[in-house]
Amino acid sequence: MKILGIETSCDETAAAVVENGHTLLSNKVTSSIDLHKVYGGVVPEIAARSHIEYIIPVITGALEEANCNWSDIDAISVTYGAGLGGSLLVGVITARSLAISFNKPLIAINHARSHIYGNFITKTELKNYSLPKSTPSFPFIGLILSGGHSQIVLFKSHSDYKVLGKTQDDAIGEAFDKVAKILGLPYPGGPSISKLAQAGDPDKIDFPKPHMQKYDFSFSGLKTAVLRYAQKSIGESYTFPSKMLSERLTMRQKADIAASFEKTAIEYIVDKVKAALKEFKVSSLVVAGGVAANMHLRKELARLGIELFIPDIKLCTDNAAMVASLGYYLFKENKQKSEPYKLDIEPSLMM
């Protein structure tokens, strides 16, 4: 069974064809990230306009790469939330129109949940993918770390899962992006912080780890601690504008802040994951989302000594392969089938 996945929840316009949930036949992603860089974050209006421009070429490209025409496609799955309203709307309206025109079943996909399914892609003939030999087996702990989500989830089956904890304020990716802004690094902040951190001392600054209940997270306090430390280290008070900090900090100071921030944030996450693995006695950890691209995180999780799934970097950040894979499992279980004339977006959709 071949599913066409469509993903437009943020700034990536993506389409992919996946067979039987695990074989990647095509994976096309176009990002409007360069247009947002000058603003230091994603501008919703620009993202939506860019989706309109790219959605058809990206879908056509995915079908061509998969060597498919419409008669080969069994169903269309599309992200309907959570995400930016205008962005989601472009993907959903396009998927609805295609489902109606070509008479295909339409499956509505939850973006955060779909991130986990980057780990269910095990085969491809496309070049430069490093994939696991088998799909994760249930039960497992899912760790979703992206620009919009930080969640620890217990998965008992494809459709039976429980969110054990989540962020109460900023998502981890958002914290990386905000700290990068303080240090004058380009958006997105994750990769630039990691790069700079390599030149810094991770033990130089003792940033606080917020006390949250059990598996919940909080990252906004950590971001503020970075801001206060940066202001203090140039001899200014907490009223000093964050925009002007980066030009006053030395490269050494910036690198130490980046390394200490990265170490604290990742230690905080890994400690919570360790506790969840112990409490629920599962033998696998399945990691997903843009922040799963972080090398320091990958190294620390690998030391936990359990079966670890982390997708290829191309399947960590937003893509439609994960949307098509989850679409397959939902279709098989007869879940989330939508009325092509009715499916609406849900920008604040929860897991």
Question: Interface residues with ligand KG4 (CB under 6 A)?
Answer: 10, 146-148, 173-174, 176-177, 188-191, 194, 289-291, 293-294, 317-318
> Min. distance of Cβ 112 from Zn ion in angstroms?
7
- Give which of Zn ion, ligand KG4, none residue 136 binds (C-beta under 5 to 8 Å, depending on kind): none
Please say which residue, 110 or 294, places its beta carbon nearer to ligand KG4. 294
The partner in contact with residue 91, picked from ligand KG4, Zn ion, none with C-beta cut-offs of 5 to 8 angstroms by kind, is: none
Closer residue to Zn ion, CB minimum distance, 262 or 318? 318
Among residues 63 and 227, whose Cβ is nearest to ligand KG4? 227
* 146 in contact with Zn ion (CB under 5 A): yes
C-alpha to C-alpha distance for 26 and 319, rounded to whole angstroms: 11
Tell me the longest C-alpha to C-alpha distance in the chain. 67
Task: Give min distance, CB of 101 to ligand KG4, in A.
Answer: 29
Contact partner, 7, from Zn ion, ligand KG4, none, Cβ < 5-8 Å per class: none
Q: Closest separation between CB of residue 337 and Zn ion, Å?
A: 23
Shortest reach from residue 88's CB to Zn ion, in Å:
12
The three-state DSSP-derived secondary structure of the chain is: CEEEEEECCCCEEEEEEEECCCEEEEEEEEECHHHHHCCCCCCHHHHHHHHHHHHHHHHHHHHHHCCCCHHHCCEEEEEEECCCHHHHHHHHHHHHHHHHHHCCCEEEEEHHHHHHHHHHCCEECCCCCCCCCCCCCCCEEEEEECCCCEEEEEECCCCCEEEEEEECCCCHHHHHHHHHHHCCCCCCHHHHHHHHHCCCCCCCCCCCCCCCCCCCECCHHHHHHHHHHHHHHCCCCCCCCHHHCCCCCCHHHHHHHHHHHHHHHHHHHHHHHHHHHHHHCCCEEEEECHHHHCHHHHHHHHCCCCEEECCCHHHHCCCCHHHHHHHHHHHHCCCCEECCCCCCCCCCCCC
Q: Which is nearer to ligand KG4, 253 or 294 (CB)?
A: 294
**Number of residues near Zn ion (by CB under 5 A):** 2
State the binding string over 302-321 for Zn ion (x if CB under 5 A, else -): ----------------x---
| 317 interacts with, out of ligand KG4, Zn ion, none, CB within 5 to 8 A per kind | ligand KG4
**Quick one: 269 or 330, whose CB is closer to ligand KG4?**
269
Compare residues 264 and 319 and give the one whose CB is closer to Zn ion.
319
User: 42 is in the binding site of which of Zn ion, ligand KG4, none (Cβ under 5 to 8 A by kind)?
Assistant: none
Comparing CB distances to ligand KG4, the nearer of 73 and 175 is 175
When CB distances are held under 5 to 8 angstroms depending on the partner's kind, the choice from ligand KG4, Zn ion, none that residue 194 binds is ligand KG4
The residue whose two tokens read 């200490």 is 260
Binding region for Zn ion (CB under 5 A): 146, 318
